[in-house]
Every structure is written in C-alpha cells, then in structure tokens.
C-alpha cells in the first residue's frame, strides 16, 4: 500500500494576509488568531509579521513568541526578514523569534532593476545575512520573490541563485508566484525542473490568486513534489489574495489523499475570527466556510437527500462542525419544506403543506428571505386554526440614550397570556432591551434565556439614510440553534423584531420539550 504524502501547511494570514487593503490587526488580535491557528487548527507553521515595520508589529511578535514558548511551539513561528545585513536578524532575535523567512530576489529583473545589483552582488549579500543568522542561532528559510517570472524569463539566474544558496544551511526554499501569473501546467513544469536539479531540497509553494488559480496551482505544486504550501485564512492577501486555508486543506485530503495536521472542525471557527478582526466579510458562497455552502435550495436536491443522500459529496457539513440546511424560497418544493418541518417537529396534512408551499413561493418571488425559524409564523399565518397564536407579544417598549449615561430600556411583554414588565440599563439600546427581557425570564418565569451567539447587520447597496436594515441574530438554546431575521428602517427595531421571533420559537421548543418529558 502506497503511503500518503504529508504536506506541511504554513499560514501567512498575520503577514501576507495583513497586506489586504484596509486590514490592520492590533497586537492582541494577532495573538488571538495565532493562538487559534496553533492550538485549535493545529497548523504546522505561522508567519506572523515583517521585520522592522513598526512598534506595534514588534509588540505583536513578542506576544506571540512569548505565548508560543509556553506551549512549546516557538519553532512554528516565523517572521519575514530582508537582506539588510544584521538589521532584520537582530530585530527578530530581540522579539524572541527563532525563524527568519529571508526575502531574496527570484528573478533577474527584480535583482537588477529593483536592487540595481548584479546577481553576484545579491548572492553575496544573501549569504552574508544567512551566515549571521545561523551564528545567532536563527533558522533560515528563503523566499525567492517573483520566482514564477524568474523561471519564465530568467531560469539561469534562478539556478545561479539556488546553486549558491543550497550550499548554505537553509531549511526550506519557498517559491512564490508573487504576481499570480502561473497556471497549473506551468507550476508542474517549473517544479519538476527545480526538483530534478535539486532533488533533496524542501520546497514550499506560495500562491497568489490574481487569475483565481491559487488553489489549483497549490495542488499542482504538491503533485509535482512540493512538500509545503502557504495559505491564508479566507484567502486574505494583497490584490486578489492568497490560497485559502480551508479550500487547500479539503483538496489536499479529498482529491490528492495527502496527510496534513489540520483539524477541519475548526476551519469555520478560524474563518469567523479572522472575518471579525479583518472586517472583510466572507462571501456566502465561499467553499467550506461560506454561510450558504451547506444550504440546499432546489427541492429536487432535498428529495434526493431524503431518499439516498443523492446530492451529498465528501464535503459533509458535520466534518466542519456545521449542519446542512434546506433553504425556503420559490425553488424549495415539497421536499425542502418537509425537511424543515421535520426538524421543527411540525406535522402537517398534504393539503396544509401545499398551502404553506404556495406562501413560501410567493415570498420567494418578492425576494424575501425565508428561514426555518420563519416557518412557524408562515404556518400560523396560512392555517390560522392549525397553529397556536403568537405566544410572546411585545406590548410596548421604550429605549433611551443620552450622552454620558447608559442606555435605558423599559419593556412590557405578554408571554403565554401573562403580562410582564421590566427595565434595565445596557451598553447599547438593544443590549438594554435584551437585559430587560432576561430579567423577566429569570425573575418571573424562572427560566434560562437563550445565549446570543452571533449578531450581524446589513443594508442594501446604495447606503441611503432611509435604507432598510436587515438584522440576523443567532441564539443558542442548549444544543439547539435559533436564527432569526428581521427588516426595518431602524436597526434597533429590526433587532427587536428578530428577538421576538426568536422568543416565539423558543417558547414552542419549551412546550415541545415538556410534552416529550411527560
């Protein structure tokens, strides 16, 4: 039996990913991302900064190295350094790091036009820096910047550089497609040439996504003998970004049958963390980590899944700590609706299901978003007598905000026919509103209130001051997730509407749980 190849993964989110336009991580944010990558995702290596950039960058490297040393992972932390004599090496040592990724010129044009040096001069400078780093106990990896153009336009220069550097104690040679110009066939051709000439060298591939080929090129590199790949979370990076961690991982495992150390059930969590800190939203259809990638829309797909999982592949959501959903809209069909009703524990007659399907189709034609949590309200609206009336009603509320004072909320609600009132302060108007509700559930009903899991706000393109605000709130009730949406011109009002929807779903769950226990 042929042993599966092992592929080493280095994450560059904190260095190359931070070159995304508008992205700048604070030191503590870098630490949080590094901790999750090393401990939860179990990444092999992380590149966390560029040497000599700023005090903040230095503080971040110190914090990460201090933490990495505590968990015996300092050898996994790397910093980009430059051919500047002792400067970068000293900076890296002072921050507590033991690995330099030395940036050299991998094409003749970069060497002669940017550095304005001959190949011999550049090689001498590089060897001087490598020698000094090794004397100081720093391990050296070498980037051949613009290697792809170097192999295309000046291969003799690349070989001249490699011939000299392979005689020095370099651990890894890292081959970047700096401008994202390569296709998989070129990657295979160039890698095979490099490995034929330097068979014992550890090569990494560093792909950029200008032609949307970073992932394909990464696969081609491994197929050709690369031992390591560079990625970023959510594909962050300069211009069009880098190869995304999640996509590279699943392709390595499923399509190439390679081994990695990555814990796949943490890929969604690290994606959400980086999304929050970077401020760069993940597209809903992004493979593996997008909101919609495990959502079936077409009714025929749900029908196939009901019968034999006909529309499922190896990318099952449970593998990534997620859950398959069946969207409700004009293309839903009977099977999608049945799936959602089953999850809610609701049983309808064929005639009732038909009426509900018609209403969902009408809403879909108007481009309205329909979620599973909307279903009980749609059913109630369509069937009236078949489903109990609204269990939680908002009678009135008052939220106020004043400069220098905490926002205040007074809330009156009716829950299963009984009226309750409470007030509370909070860090914001909505926070005050929720705390007042929590007070009612805790003091009057002796009941645990669901935990807020995620809160997101979006508006249609155009940014008008009168634009509708869509609020999506996710709550956790034990092992159950409740996600509700609401639309309003006022953000607080939209959030309140979504919360009242959640409470009605919550009450239905409570009643269902009590009936099961009896």
**Is the separation of the CB atoms in 450 and 462 below 8 Å?**
no
**Is the separation of the CB atoms in 21 and 242 below 8 Å?**
no
Angle at 346 between CA 341 and CA 347, to 5 degrees: 100
Exposure b/e, 51-65, CB count within 10 A at least 16 = b: bbbeeebbbbbbbbb
**Is the separation of the CB atoms in 328 and 375 below 8 Å?**
yes
Longest dimension (CA), the chain: 87
H or E element that contains 94: helix 87-94
Determine the Cα–Cα distance for residues 437 and 411; give it in Å rounded to an integer. Answer: 7
Polymer length of the chain: 518
Residue 189: left if φ>0, alpha if ψ -120 to 50, beta else—which one? alpha
Q: Checking DSSP bridges between strand 418-425 and strand 405-415, what pairing results, if any?
A: antiparallel
Residue with tokens 């970047």: 176
Q: Checking DSSP bridges between strand 325-326 and strand 295-296, what pairing results, if any?
A: parallel
DSSP E strand stretches across 222-360: 228-231, 295-296, 325-326
Is 145 noted as a catalytic residue in this protein? yes
Tokens of 92: 């890296």
Exposure b/e, 447-462, CB count within 10 A at least 16 = b: eebbeeeeeeeeeeee
Return the bridge partners of 252, or none: none
Determine the Cα–Cα distance for residues 496 and 465; give it in Å rounded to an integer. Answer: 20
Helix (H, G, I), strand (E, B) or coil at 145: strand
Determine the Cα–Cα distance for residues 410 and 400; give it in Å rounded to an integer. Answer: 9
H or E element that contains 218: helix 214-223
Tokens of 176: 């970047």
Is 343 noted as a catalytic residue in this protein? no
Tokens of 98: 């033991």
Residue 322 burial by Cβ neighbours in a 10 Å radius (0-12, 13-18, 19+): middle
User: How many secondary structure helices (H) and strands (E) does the chain include?
Assistant: 17, 16
Task: Indicate which residue of 18, 47, 78, 145 is catalytic.
Answer: 145
Q: Which residues contact 309 (CB under 8 A, 6 or more apart)?
A: none
Residue with tokens 């190439």: 256
Determine the Cα–Cα distance for residues 232 and 244; give it in Å rounded to an integer. Answer: 5
DSSP E strand stretches across 363-511: 392-402, 405-415, 418-425, 451-458, 469-477, 480-488
Residue 450: left if φ>0, alpha if ψ -120 to 50, beta else—which one? beta
Active-site annotation, residues? 15, 145
């Amino acid at each position: 039996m042929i042993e599966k190849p092992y592929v080493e993964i280095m994450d560059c989110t904190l260095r190359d990913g931070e070159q995304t336009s508008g992205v700048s991580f604070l030191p503590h944010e870098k630490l949080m991302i590094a901790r999750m990558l090393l401990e939860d995702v179990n990444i092999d290596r992380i590149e966390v900064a560029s040497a000599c950039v700023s005090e903040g960058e230095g503080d971040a490297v110190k914090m990460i190295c201090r933490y990495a040393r505590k968990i015996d992972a300092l050898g996994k932390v790397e910093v980009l350094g430059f051919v500047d004599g002792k400067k970068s090496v000293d900076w890296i040592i002072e921050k507590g790091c033991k690995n330099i990724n030395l940036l050299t010129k991998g094409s003749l044009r970069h060497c002669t036009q940017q550095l304005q040096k001959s190949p011999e001069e550049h090689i001498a400078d590089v060897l001087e820096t490598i020698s000094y780093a090794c004397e100081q106990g720093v391990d050296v990896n070498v980037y051949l910047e613009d290697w792809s153009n170097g192999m295309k336009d000046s291969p003799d220069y690349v070989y001249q550089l490699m011939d000299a550097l392979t005689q020095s104690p370099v651990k890894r040679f890292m081959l970047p497609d700096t401008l994202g110009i390569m296709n998989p066939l070129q990657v295979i051709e160039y890698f095979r040439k490099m490995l034929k000439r330097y068979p014992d060298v550890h090569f990494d591939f560093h792909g950029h996504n200008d032609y949307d080929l970073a992932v394909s090129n990464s696969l081609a590199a491994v197929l050709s003998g690369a031992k390591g790949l560079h990625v970023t979370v959510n594909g962050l990076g300069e211009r069009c970004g880098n190869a995304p961690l999640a996509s590279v991982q699943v392709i390595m495992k499923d399509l190439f049958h390679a081994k990695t150390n990555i814990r796949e059930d943490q890929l969604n969590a690290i994606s959400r963390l980086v999304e929050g800190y970077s401020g760069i939203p993940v597209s809903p259809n992004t493979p593996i980590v997008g909101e919609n990638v495990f959502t079936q829309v077409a009714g025929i797909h749900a029908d196939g899944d009901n019968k034999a999982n006909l529309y499922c592949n190896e990318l099952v959501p449970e593998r990534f700590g997620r859950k398959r959903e069946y969207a409700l809209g004009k293309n839903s069909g009977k099977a999608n609706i049945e799936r959602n009703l089953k999850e809610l524990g609701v049983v309808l007659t064929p005639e009732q299901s038909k009426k509900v399907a018609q209403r969902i189709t009408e809403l879909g034609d108007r481009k309205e978003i329909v979620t599973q949590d909307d279903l009980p309200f749609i059913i109630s609206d369509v069937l009236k007598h078949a489903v109990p009336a609204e269990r939680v009603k908002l009678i009135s509320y008052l939220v106020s905000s004043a400069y220098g004072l905490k926002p205040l909320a007074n809330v009156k609600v009716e829950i299963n026919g009984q009226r309750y009132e409470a007030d509370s302060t909070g860090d914001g108007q909505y926070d005050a509103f929720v705390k007042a509700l929590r007070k009612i559930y805790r003091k009057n009903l002796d009941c645990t209130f669901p935990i807020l899991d995620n809160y997101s706000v979006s508006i249609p393109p155009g940014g008008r001051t009168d634009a509708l605000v869509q609020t999506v709130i996710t709550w956790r009730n034990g092992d159950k997730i409740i996600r509700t949406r609401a639309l309003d011109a006022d953000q607080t009002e939209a959030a309140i509407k979504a919360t009242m929807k959640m409470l009605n779903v919550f009450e239905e769950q409570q009643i269902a749980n009590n009936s099961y226990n009896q």
